[in-house]
Amino acid sequence: MPAAYVPGALSGSEHLLLRGATLIDGNGGGPITSSEIEVKDDRIVYAGVRRNEGTTSAGEKPRIIDLEGTTVMPGFIDSHVHLSLSIENQEANLARFASERVVRSAVNARSTLMAGVTTARDLGGTDRGLRDSIEQRLILGPRIHLAIAPLSPTGGHTDFTMPNGLRTMPEMPVDPIIDTDDDVRRTIRLLIHSGADVIKVCTTGGVSSPTDTPDDIGVPEEHVRLIVEETAKRSGQPVAAHAQGAAGIKAAIRGGVRSIEHGYGIDDEGIDLMLEHETFLVPTLSSALRVPDPKDVPSYLYEKKVRWSAIARERVAQAMQAGVRVALGTDAGVCPHGVNLREEMHAVELGLSPMDAIVAGTRNAAELLRLGDHIGTVEEGKLADLVIVDFDPLADIARLAEPDNVKVVLQGGAAVKDADGWFGRPVQRAALG
């Protein structure tokens, strides 16, 4: 999979001229009032202040859509989802047929897109079939970068077996257990062969895993280095680290990962290392700050969740205040699917400005995925991934958290959601050949 994988244009994209909206372009500058955005095929050919009448691509007459009173932003990017996962009611999930879990993954993908997320990074549990089906327009969903299976040692975060051998989660598409150097090399090669866009390692235990804690060390630093070396021989897939306890966070950074996922217990030394190495933090606040109903999850999970939510609230806020680069991701699957823009609200709750939260969920996330040349901002040459709302998110970012408040979602120039009928031509799914 190339570093900058993006799908082709969706059926339904056309030549459009969007006029009158306030534009928040994702770069962090001030909003542009009475803006104009020209879209041709799947790309933006102009974005900025409104031009004189008749100023469009030579010889072309686009369809003009008046968006006065609305705000346009880039399509959002959720940097951490698990579309095939539902952590709550694990018994019911284990009892489902594999085919039902696939269908539920497709439903989760569609609800994620309808929430305003046009691109997502799935960090475990989903194989390339879902990604390819979206690319082929068989189903609607965000374009996806895949980790396929997150890696940990025996007894680590992705060893989903109890001491008596019973499973707590369905099997991963690729066996995630790595204990030796040979395990590491073989598994990384298999993941890349299977279509992985990113490699995920678990350098600590976790909240949701049955036999370890976030303070436990998982994949050691020397294996992180080996993984980074192995991916460098292929397409240079970035390495993301599930890392919650302070020691495992620092091991991941020193080993060369591109992003720390969660980072709940990061200490001051870890913050300094992230700043030194320009490592991204994906704080997954939608999961971190949410304590589920104890009747819906195992007792071991609930007890850890109460403790680590409090730790995350303090330490992640400290990292943000220090200027660590933040790309937003929800950990949907551990928290509910389809309400992904709650993450921006939570980021503001922990100290980011509304504008910085929007940038973290658009431009920064695109840079993390190595897709900054294609998505993340509303600029000439970028894919026409746009979200349109009828309010000012800088004044009330909490309204983004409700999917019904996202009125329009354009993905590659095609209106995949159009709640008020402004665009009038819904995207068409492909027919099976």
Arithmetic mean of pLDDT, 199-215: 92
Tell the burial category of 295 from Cβ atoms under 10 Å away from its Cβ (0-12, 13-18, 19+).
Answer: exposed
Arithmetic mean of pLDDT, 218-223: 98
For 302, other C-beta atoms within 10 Å of its C-beta total 16
The pLDDT assigned to 431 comes to: 54
Q: Nearest Cα to 188, choosing from 170, 172, 174, 171?
A: 174
DSSP per position, 394-416: TT-GGGGGSGGGEEEEEETTEEE
SS3 306: helix
The pLDDT assigned to 426 comes to: 56
The pLDDT assigned to 168 comes to: 77
Domain ranges of the chain: 16-74+375-418, 76-368
Tokens, residue 193: 């062969």
Arithmetic mean of pLDDT, 216-235: 96
pLDDT, averaged across the chain: 92
* Helix/strand number for the chain, H first, E second: 12, 16
Between these two residues, 197 and 303, which has the higher pLDDT value? 197
Record the pTM. Answer: 0.94
Angle separating helix axes 268-277 and 299-322, nearest 10 degrees: 60
Q: Which CATH class is domain 76-368?
A: alpha beta
Q: Which of 86-95, 191-200, 372-381 has the lowest mean pLDDT?
A: 86-95
Tokens, residue 97: 């047929």
The pLDDT assigned to 5 comes to: 45
Both ends of the chain: CA-CA distance in Å? 24
The pLDDT assigned to 57 comes to: 62
- Sign of the alpha-carbon dihedral angle for 266, 270, 272, 273: negative
For the cut 70, the answer to whether the pLDDT of residue 225 exceeds it is yes
Residue type, 348: V
Arithmetic mean of pLDDT, 193-217: 94
For the cut 80, the answer to whether the pLDDT of residue 308 exceeds it is yes
pLDDT single digits (tens) 313-360: 999 999 999 999 999 999 999 999 999 999 999 999 999 999 999 999
Give 377's contacts (C-beta < 8 A, 6+ positions apart). 25, 26, 27, 74, 362, 363, 366
The pLDDT assigned to 106 comes to: 97
Between these two residues, 2 and 275, which has the higher pLDDT value? 275
The pLDDT assigned to 67 comes to: 96
Q: Would the CATH topology of 16-74+375-418 be identical to that of 76-368?
A: no
What is the pLDDT confidence band of residue 427, given thresholds at 50, 70 and 90?
low
The pLDDT assigned to 119 comes to: 98
For 85, other C-beta atoms within 10 Å of its C-beta total 24
CA distance 359 to 383: 17
Buried b / exposed e along 315-347 (16+ C-beta atoms within 10 A): bbbebbeeebbbbbbbbbbbbbbbbbbbbbbbb
For the cut 70, the answer to whether the pLDDT of residue 3 exceeds it is no
Q: Count Cα neighbours of 367 within 13 Å in the Cβ-side half-sphere.
A: 19
Tokens, residue 174: 């690729």
Tokens, residue 377: 């901002």
Q: Which of 37-41, 90-94, 139-143, 300-304 has the lowest mean pLDDT?
A: 90-94
Q: How many percent of the chain have pLDDT more than 90?
A: 79
SS3 126: coil
Q: Which residues pair with 23 in a beta bridge?
A: 32, 72
For the cut 80, the answer to whether the pLDDT of residue 371 exceeds it is yes
The pLDDT assigned to 424 comes to: 77
CATH superfamily, region 16-74+375-418: Urease, subunit C, domain 1 (2.30.40.10)
For the cut 60, the answer to whether the pLDDT of residue 9 exceeds it is no
For the cut 50, the answer to whether the pLDDT of residue 4 exceeds it is no
